[in-house]
Amino acid sequence: MRAIHPPEAVDADYLGKQAARANDISFPFVEFLWQRASWPAVVRTLPRIRRDLRNFGTCLAKIDHYFESADRLGFGARAFVATELEYLFTLSRSMFDLIQEVIRAIWDQTQFLNDPVRQKAKRRMPKSFADVALKGDTEVPAPNIQQKFQVPRELADAYASIAPFFAQVRRFRDSVVHRGNSVDVVFVTERGFCVDPAAAPFCHFQVWGRKELWFNDKIASLRPFLAHVVVQTLDGCCALLDAMAAGIGFPEQLAPEYGVHQRFGHNDSIINAKMIFEGRASGWWREEAG
């Protein structure tokens, strides 16, 4: 028998007391699902959540690549970036619906053992995040969510706080998918891709306050906007499951001394987006000369 020495994994989830590489990522909401909510209905959704997480990194990395190749791509770089930006909104919408599937599966198994009245009033949750947090295009107040589904107040508050961001994501995603709209103009500058913050969908997101993000008085760097969409989506997923854990009793961790880590081909892109969002990394692809 010959010993086999496989190469180190390039794409995997693993348990470890610490990350094997500095750029391996631990997403708190994924760790919670693995460690404390690993029922069959939840586990079936995890591969799709993992796929979208990987695709977030790939999407950001592709936009970086387009800037590095802008001289060769010429005018076509703009169309490539616009297409990836539209896909980013689709990923964000998909991630919220996947987390909603998980919440629905957990809620199906939740029982109010000492409150038969509430148990009788408890309703099954929808598959779509929008069907909980929105009524048409209007955000549903937290007390209404709590009363309708009998969910813990913490969870209802989380839905209500995330709803404004989700509504903007859904509005633009639906305008692309159902009405054929698109990002009109992406500008290629020597410092990076830029957009007009006064144009849709960019005008609906509060990311343009920092002066250093503006190329001139008309256009600003696209990079912080990309980071905003990714990080707000991931933080929203964490907030929903944190709120659910605060109001419902869950089993203890399966492996309490270990963390759940993810390794994708473009982890660095997600890490960099988080740093840009927090103001710890440049909002540009290339620093200003001089």
pTM here? 0.93
Contacts of 21 (CB under 8 A, 6+ apart): 263
pLDDT, residue 177, reads: 65
Contact status, residue 166 vs residue 129, Cβ threshold 8 Å: yes
Tens-of-pLDDT digits for all 290 residues of the chain? 666 555 678 888 999 999 999 999 999 999 999 999 999 999 999 999 999 999 999 999 999 999 999 999 888 899 999 999 999 999 999 999 999 999 999 999 999 888 888 888 889 999 999 999 999 989 999 999 999 999 999 999 999 999 999 999 998 888 776 665 667 789 999 999 999 999 888 999 999 999 999 999 999 999 999 999 999 999 999 999 999 999 899 999 999 999 999 999 899 999 999 999 999 999 999 987 55
Please answer whether residues 259 and 26 qualify as being in contact, where contact means their C-beta atoms are separated by less than 8 angstroms.
yes
Contact 196, 214 (CB under 8 A): no
259-263 and 187-188 strand pairing: unpaired
| Predicted pLDDT at 42 | 94
Q: Find the helix or strand (DSSP H, E) in which 245 lies.
A: helix 223-247
Give, for 208, the enclosing helix (H) or strand (E).
Answer: none
pLDDT of residue 4: 56
Side by side, which strands form the sheet with 193-195?
Answer: 187-188, 193-195, 220-221
